[in-house]
Amino acid sequence: MPKLKFLVDECIDIRVARAIRDDGFDVKHVVEVMRGAKDTLILDVAFMEKRILITNDKDFGDLVYLRGLPYYGIILLRLKSNKPLHTIQILKNIIAVFGKKLPHSVTVVRENKIKIRHKNKDYF
């Protein structure tokens, strides 16, 4: 399996991107590379670069499910706390446990539940 790559949306603290990058992953933060970009452009760049988009913006679900826009992978964080350390801990666990299932899927993450909707199969 190729090494996972990520694009972290600007609604997520940049420290989250840095922490994942420090673990050896190829990570870009929207603020660093395309500050203020529209969601459609962010999704397009992530798809073209084969990056899993990390966001807490539900609009990306609408873009892929209602409008049918292509995507490589999305992690949608629906956490009660958006504090960077909390988010980092959860993301590191998700990547470690479910890394192989993240490409070609939309993963919705809550503190007590993870739902992975793969293009061909759902995992709960």
Say if pTM beats, i.e. exceeds, 0.85.
Answer: yes
pLDDT at position 124 over 50: no
How many degrees, rounded to 5, is the angle at CA 119 between CA 17 and CA 69?
70
Just give the CATH number of 5-123: 3.40.50
* In the chain, domain spans: 5-123
Where do the DSSP E strands lie in the chain? 5-8, 26-29, 52-55, 74-77, 105-110, 113-118, 122-123
pLDDT at position 66 over 70: yes
pLDDT digits (tens, 9 = 90+) for 69-108: 999 999 999 999 889 999 999 999 999 999 999 999 999 9
- pLDDT of 23 reads 93
